[in-house]
Amino acid sequence: MRTESKIIGLGLIAAFTAATPAFSQELTLESLKAENAFVFNTLLFLIGGFLVMFMAAGFAMLEAGLVRSKNTSMQCLKNISLYSVAGIMYWALGYSLMYTGVEGGFIGSFMPYVWPAAGEINPGDYSVGSDWFFQMVFAAATASIVSGTVAERIKLWPFLLFTVILTGMIYPIAGSWKWGGGWLDTMGFQDFAGSTLVHSVGGWAALTGAIILGARKGRFGPGGQVTPMPGSNIPLATLGTFILWLGWFGFNGGSQLALGDNINASDISRIFINTNLSAAGGVIAVIVLLQLIYKKVDVTMALNGALAGLVSITAEPLMPSPLYAILIGAVGGTIVVFAVPMLDKLKIDDVVGAIPVHLLAGIWGTMIVPLTNPDASIIIQATGVGAYAAFTIIASTIIWYAMKVTIGIRVSEEDEYLGLDKAEVGVEAYPEFASGRV
Amino acid sequence: MRTESKIIGLGLIAAFTAATPAFSQELTLESLKAENAFVFNTLLFLIGGFLVMFMAAGFAMLEAGLVRSKNTSMQCLKNISLYSVAGIMYWALGYSLMYTGVEGGFIGSFMPYVWPAAGEINPGDYSVGSDWFFQMVFAAATASIVSGTVAERIKLWPFLLFTVILTGMIYPIAGSWKWGGGWLDTMGFQDFAGSTLVHSVGGWAALTGAIILGARKGRFGPGGQVTPMPGSNIPLATLGTFILWLGWFGFNGGSQLALGDNINASDISRIFINTNLSAAGGVIAVIVLLQLIYKKVDVTMALNGALAGLVSITAEPLMPSPLYAILIGAVGGTIVVFAVPMLDKLKIDDVVGAIPVHLLAGIWGTMIVPLTNPDASIIIQATGVGAYAAFTIIASTIIWYAMKVTIGIRVSEEDEYLGLDKAEVGVEAYPEFASGRV
Amino acid sequence: MRTESKIIGLGLIAAFTAATPAFSQELTLESLKAENAFVFNTLLFLIGGFLVMFMAAGFAMLEAGLVRSKNTSMQCLKNISLYSVAGIMYWALGYSLMYTGVEGGFIGSFMPYVWPAAGEINPGDYSVGSDWFFQMVFAAATASIVSGTVAERIKLWPFLLFTVILTGMIYPIAGSWKWGGGWLDTMGFQDFAGSTLVHSVGGWAALTGAIILGARKGRFGPGGQVTPMPGSNIPLATLGTFILWLGWFGFNGGSQLALGDNINASDISRIFINTNLSAAGGVIAVIVLLQLIYKKVDVTMALNGALAGLVSITAEPLMPSPLYAILIGAVGGTIVVFAVPMLDKLKIDDVVGAIPVHLLAGIWGTMIVPLTNPDASIIIQATGVGAYAAFTIIASTIIWYAMKVTIGIRVSEEDEYLGLDKAEVGVEAYPEFASGRV
């Protein structure tokens, strides 16, 4: 998803095509090569896109498994709804805001994007429709991050309204700064597939939400004691993590943006390897640390270790050697082990652990890019991290507060006790099993 | 999956290849272009095919989540068995009946199809084996639709026998009329990926089954009261819906039938966008309507809204603008909101809501094609819808009745009360949890 | 995955490329054809690889569903951990041991493999990184097979230590004999995608583990009575089976090793068909036999029938006709029906049925190759099966025993009674539901 790699990939093609128009009726070596590359690049976006689309299911299962059963239906409803909202908003507004005419600036166009009609030749090196699909599922992923943190006490409609603004404006504007060719891209900020653009942005939005919403009732006692509220369905959370891991091959691999030649195909393979090994490093670091510290290995921490490894490598999945990928992921996992209890001490109630996984590991992944990518500088990376922090915190805070003082964002205390499934959805997740023990 | 688009796509190739035989040993620009297109087209069928194959898991999870826990193992058994039956029947009979020598007629050949041996050159523009795989998974999807509606009271073997006939004869014969180049194709009927051919056919078969089987005991009281029988596992149903949504990119995208050039790759991208947005439109319409009408948002209706949106766009996922796609899906979702209580009034017991989703939204999607596709006419669309209705209702009724009066199709009242898992499977779905509350 | 098919596929290319260097800057028909083939072959490995990677989720769900709820979190933890261990070990050691310089021998190199750097041209016919990814997920699958059999009584860390050695040494050394071009390949042993190399190797390792660990407490009574310990979540086990079935298209299809021309694309399509039909044959055989013998159709046996069908066809998914594929799978399913009670009589406690499915069906699939592949001989197939048995049994026994007498491999009797989730993980899988009934 970084501009550079794409230019490199297409530069090779350009060297061959030179003055030959790409899709003339005349069949030449150059036109055939260009058309093949077009199909390969489009296929990369479509395959990458459906893998990332499936991450919506991954988030849904992860969150459905990590909330209590009285809020599980609500979590399912939020996830299918947010994915729907994200698609419509990113079509109506987001894609143009992020990619049209940013040119070193801070924001794109408010005019909706129009792609070729059915049966029409699409000029360029890939189908713009496939690019929209690939970018849209990233917007949805950003919203999914928020969903997990604010679970079990937020009302449905304020959450969806926040999603409207997040996927239609906050994420696209922030994204335009780098991937739309905006000011941070001009400056040289590096974020290959979105440790910052997707994961930290989602993480900041989640963090502000968690703080403004407040913790679940009974979670933090007056004397500093923390009441665990264990997830109701661990295999679902495990499934969700595996689906996310699968989807990440599309997330990072597709962000190479081109597939049609030897170098791009090889680079994508390298990205697959590093993505996989970083997640593995995250898991191994977590389970070893938990064994050493607690003598038991909490499986939900291991799952979050995988995700933290994935987030950590996302800013630069191409340049590191496999060994570096493992180490980068291992640090991500380590962050999870120590940040989860830290958040408890700060009385920030992050239901699924999204803040350590997406925000903190996202920052870590972004800051470590200069270690392996000579085009990156620590100062510019820090500038980017800071800019995204400032913008997302401010924008999110305004939205959360505006909703809080008008329509309200939190369910009533009785509804929270009763569970959102009965209160807002009217459908229990497991009507035959749940003992009501909470 | 419509003949037209394929001819367009391959027409382009034909213009280039002209008199050059495609896979001669001589390497020419034309032969290379043709071989690349062959691989791309085959890859489209294989990728589309495995995505649609995974829809078998989607249906299984959707249905397993929406039945009561005492019938969940049975629903799992039916789904893995029907997918197996569909594969064998579509190999032994279905594919030939649907695609061999239909030429404007009503039925193909009863001779089993033979595709190239291992290591053999496959003449033509795509691997016929990949086409078989892609078409087979559609036949399986048709059977899955029936499975959900008739759940919780049908016996295993009659259901599988119906599946034998549905996937080996009813669906293929019906399919031959349009996709096999039969009389409805000649007439100009339009159904890109099967709003009618797959979803309405499955829906009519399900509806006749539901009526002939009768409702579950206790579902409809003598005074018109309706007893809800809530699904036992909402996150599984949610997972199933997301898997179906994922699979639909293969379902509709693969039905373009060709990938090897700029136009086909762009068109497939457009199909992905419209497929996604129509589903999103279905979800949003449902949740807004439920909030307005009931003040609560039933998540199972939202899931069915996504599916109704997907079914609605399936007859024509290429031509609509994204805005039309959203609206077409939104109407599909609206149909679900109003049709589900209507079926209850008619005392038709459709356990998972497959009739509104697949039958009614399928008709809607087929009838709205003329809005965006100038090649379609309302009268011919209505002719097709009516012809499929008549054929499927008659054929299904004969099969269901013939089984009813011979081997019997419904479990005994005691077995229904006990649950099919204990009565027919001998394995409880959740032996440690279920309270037996039904 | 067999050497032959690849040589055939690339032979075609070689005929065209002759003296032309593949990736020179000069664009020629030959160089364009070679580069397209490179991208197609790499894409095959990446798509096949992510499908097989997802099988890790399939195994996790299958096993999570088939163990009792008090051990479900542990099973989830083991699966995400073993997949992580497999990745790291196969990078650090396995790939080189399996593929570097085996040349008719018994073992490869201990030097870690180094693939091209980012942006570097990758000489050859496919990206070596994509090949690593594809091979790595096979190593992980081998470990997953063990995980299910030894469930519910093995300690976490000894299991992971066994996984380290299995995926880093046992599997790669065994694999080198055939796929690394070692002595069995020289001799003419045939195993297309791993009925023996993956499934029997995993099965032997599981069997030795089950014997050395001993059965779960209370499973086998002194008078020969067998206490059923039913799986806690059948829909999850069903989901796992469907995911494995999906992944198998990557497992067998990707093992063609080349996609870039008419013949390879057609052959892969044929492999998809045979893979699907063999699984279907397994299911149908099982459900018919169960109905005839027991008058009830145990869904877990049907699921294992699908898997046995898949394992059976894996040694030769290309050559059989579809009818043979169905029959080969049906025999695989039949093996499951009769082997499961046989293992109970032998007091071998295989929690998920992995020994019939992977070991016995794997042997069957390997021995039946000569029926359809004229290059295979029964004696050489038997030699291979025997060699893999001897090596894996000896190596596994040494490791299991060495751990048993040092660190111990089995949890205490109290911990087993309490459940591994409370004893070792500290997280219950379903804290709100489980009644504690075991």
pLDDT band at C435 (very low <50, low <70, confident <90, very high): low
Alpha carbon of A38: minimum distance to chain C alpha carbons (Å): 12
- Per-residue pLDDT at C100 exceeds 90: yes
Structure confidence at residue B10 as a pLDDT band (50, 70, 90):
very low
Is the pLDDT at B130 greater than 60? The verdict is yes
As for how many domains chain A has, the answer is: 1
Is B51 part of any domain?
yes
DSSP one-letter code for B69:
G
Alpha-helix residue ranges (DSSP H) falling in C67-197:
72-89, 95-99, 128-149, 156-165, 171-178, 183-187
Question: Which of C299, C301, C352, C371 to substitute to test the interface with B, most B CBs within 10 Å?
Answer: C299
Question: How close, in Å, is residue B285 to chain A by CA atoms?
Answer: 10
Q: What is the CATH number of the domain that holds B80?
A: 1.10.3430.10
Within a domain: residue B253? yes
Percent of chain C exceeding pLDDT 90 equals: 91
**8 Å CB contact between B20 and B33:** no
pTM, 2 dp: 0.95
Measured at the alpha carbon of residue A124, what is the angle toward residues A119 and A128, in degrees to the nearest 5? 65
Residue A160's domain comprises 40-112+122-435
The percent of residues in chain C predicted with pLDDT above 70, rounded, is 93
Chain center to CA of A211: 21
Cα distance between the two ends of chain A: 43
Is residue A126 within 8 Å of A394, Cβ to Cβ? no
Q: Which residue has the higher pLDDT, C409 or C24?
A: C409
pLDDT at B392 over 90: yes
Buried b (16+ CB within 10 A) or exposed e, C235-265: bbbbbbbbbbbbbbbbbbbbbbbbbbbbbbb
Whether C267 contacts B119, CB under 8 Å: yes
Chain B positions touching C303 (Cβ under 8 A) are 76, 80
Domain assignment of residue B225, yes or no: yes
Residues of chain C contacting residue A297, judged by C-beta atoms under 8 Å apart: 77, 156, 424-426
* CA nearest neighbour of B284 among C152, A109, C119, A84: A84
Mean pLDDT of B187-199: 98
Which among C289, C295, C297, C299 has a CA at the least distance from the CA of C337? Answer: C289
- How far apart, in whole angstroms, are the C-alpha atoms of residue C220 and residue A437? 35
Give the gap in angstroms from C-alpha C38 to the nearest C-alpha of chain A: 7
Burial of residue B112 (number of CB atoms within 10 Å: 0-12, 13-18, 19+) = middle
Q: Say whether A276 and C430 touch across the interface (CB within 8 A).
A: no
pLDDT digits (tens, 9 = 90+) for A228-262: 999 999 999 999 999 999 999 999 999 999 999 99
CA dist., res. C204 & res. C216, Å (int): 19
Tell me which chains share at least 3 CB pairs under 8 Å with chain B: A, C
- Among A98-112, B306-320, C421-435, the least confident range: C421-435
CA distance C187 to C168: 25
SS3 C220: strand
Mean pLDDT to the nearest integer, B265-281: 98
Tell me how close the Cα of C284 comes to any Cα of chain B, in angstroms. Answer: 7
Alpha carbon distance, N-terminus to C-terminus of chain B? 43
Residue B214 within a domain: yes
Lowest mean pLDDT among A115-119, B333-337, C164-168, C286-290: A115-119
Whether A309 and C81 have beta carbons less than 8 Å apart is answered as no
pLDDT at A24 over 60: no
What was the pLDDT predicted at B13? 35
Provide the CB-side half-sphere exposure for B386 (13 A, CA): 6
Q: Looking at the domain assignment, is residue A13 inside a domain?
A: no
Among B198, B188, B187, B149, CA closest to B388: B198
Tell whether B266 is covered by a domain: yes
Q: Identify which has the larger pLDDT, A286 or A7.
A: A286
Banded model confidence at residue C6, pLDDT cuts 50, 70, 90? very low
| More confident of the two residues B240 and C12 | B240
Beta-carbon neighbour count of residue B393 at 10 Å? 14
Q: Tokens 């309405």 identify what position? A: B200
Instruction: Check residue A220 and report its DSSP letter.
Output: B
**Distance in Å, alpha carbon of A263 to nearest chain C alpha carbon:** 5
Q: What angle do CA A403, A406, A408 make, to 5 degrees?
A: 65
Residue B21 belongs to some domain of the structure: no
- All residues of chain C having their beta carbon less than 8 Å from the beta carbon of residue A47 are 47
Q: Is the ipTM of this complex over 0.85?
A: yes
- Reported as a pLDDT band with limits 50, 70 and 90, residue B168 is very high
pLDDT confidence tier of residue A434, bands split at 50, 70 and 90: low
Mean pLDDT value across residues A157-173:
98
Looking at the domain assignment, is residue A5 inside a domain?
A: no
- Residue B120: is its pLDDT beyond 60? yes
Best A241, A297, A307, A327 member to test C by mutation, with max C CBs in 10 Å, is A297
The answer to whether B133 contacts C279, with C-beta atoms less than 8 Å apart, is no
CA dist., res. A178 & res. A174, Å (int): 8
Average pLDDT over residues A382-406: 98
DSSP, res C18: T
pLDDT at residue A287 above 60? yes
Q: At C226, is the secondary structure helix, strand, or coil?
A: strand
Residues facing residue C410 across a β-bridge: C154
Q: Count of alpha carbons within 13 Å of C278, Cβ hemisphere only?
A: 34
Cβ-defined contact of B430 to A433 (cutoff 8 Å): yes
pLDDT at A411 over 50: yes
How far is Cα C427 from Cα A300, in angstroms, rounded to an integer?
8
Question: Which among A152, A242, A249 is the top mutation candidate for probing chain C, defined by the most C β-carbons within 10 Å of its own β-carbon?
Answer: A242
- As a whole number of angstroms, the distance between CA A183 and CA B237 comes to 44
Q: What is the pLDDT of residues A177-206, one digit of tens each?
A: 999 999 999 999 999 999 999 999 999 999
For residue B296, give the nearest of A47, A127, A424 by CB distance.
A424
Please answer yes or no on whether B64 and C235 come within 8 Å at the CB atom: yes
Q: Are A84 and B283 in contact (CB under 8 A)?
A: yes
CA distances from C411 to C163, C404, C417 (A): 18, 11, 10
pLDDT higher than 50, residue A128: yes
CB-nearest partner of A232 from C29, C60, C431:
C431
Task: Tell me whether residues B60 and C306 touch, CB distance under 8 A.
Answer: no
Question: Which of C96, C407, C432, C433 to mutate to test binding with chain A, by most A CBs within 10 Å of its CB?
Answer: C432
C390 to chain A, closest Cα gap in Å: 31
Nearest of C289, C301, C299 to residue C353 by alpha carbon = C301
What was the pLDDT predicted at B151? 98
Instruction: Give the nearest partner residue to A32 out of B29, B259, B270, using CB atoms.
Output: B29
pLDDT of B435 reads 55
Q: Which residues of C touch B236 (CB under 8 A)?
A: 235, 239
Q: B243 and A57: CB-CB below 8 Å?
A: yes
